[in-house]
Homo-oligomer: A and B are copies of this chain.
Amino acid sequence: MNTIEISESPSRQRRKEARPAELMAAALELFVERGFAATKLDDVAARAGVSKGTLYLYFASKEELFKAVIQKGILPVLDQGEEMLSQFQGDAGSLLEAMLLRWWEMVGSTHLAGITKLMISEAGNFPEVALFYYENVIVRGRGLIRSVLERGIASKQFREMDVETAIDVILAPQMMFTIWRYSLGPCDCGKQDPEAYLKTHMKLLLNGLLTGEKKK
């Protein structure tokens, strides 16, 4: 007489597998918004729609949750970038533009963008995670751009240059634009369309990078 069981409980089942991902998404938002120390696990759990106890079923501590957010969030992006590099048919300038646009689609325009700001803010408190991030995101990311620049220099499309510095000059505006959204962005609401901005940025960069005649 107790229960007539409903044979399929698909939502329940799906939820169970989704829990850690939901918790990590909630944690990312709050960590980015408030910083690690100022984020309460009660709030993380509440935003994911569970209690704090549940959080501890999936993550051993606040710090483990932090690590998981960083690692699981960003690594797939690098994998995709490296695949793109090996597959792409076309000139180096187009490849550079395609990569930056792809990065915008996958990271810049999503919540993952917050990881950049989060890592910068918290690197001092988590040197071990910072090292992981440095080796698996920064080094690999710079490697991607380096390959593109070297391909362009070899094909004479790009002029000779100090490649390492050029990587910084290319990546810095991208990163600042990303960080901006999660810091002082709310102060200047009047910013234009991000994709238009990226194109203008690319044009300015390329006019400094391209060999001779102006592009476009």
Contacts and interface: CB of A to CB of B under 8 A. Distances in A.
A205 B117 contact: no
Contacts of A119: 183-184
Interface stretch (A19-27, A29-37, A57-65): A29-37
Interface stretch (A3-11, A89-97, A123-131): A123-131
B138 A184 contact: yes
Query: In terms of DSSP, what is the predominant structure of the interface of chain A?
Result: helix
Interface residues of A, number: 51
Contacts of A34: 37, 124-125
A187 interface: yes
Contact of A168 (B38, B165, B173, B187): B173
Interface stretch (A43-51, A71-79, A104-112, A174-182): A174-182
Contact of A35 (B32, B125, B186): B125
Interface in A112-143: 117, 119-125, 127, 130-131, 133-135, 138
Given A117-B120, A182-B124, A200 B165 contact: yes
A120 B38 contact: no
Query: Of A131, A135, A204, which is in contact with the most chain B CB atoms at under 10 Å from its CB?
Result: A204
B125 A205 contact: no
Contact of A187 (B37, B134, B176): B134
A84 interface: no
A168 B162 contact: no
A120 B188 contact: no
B183 A173 contact: no
Interface of A: 32-38, 117, 119-125, 127, 130-131, 133-135, 138, 159, 161-162, 165-166, 168-169, 171-173, 175-177, 179, 182-184, 186-188, 197, 200-201, 204-209
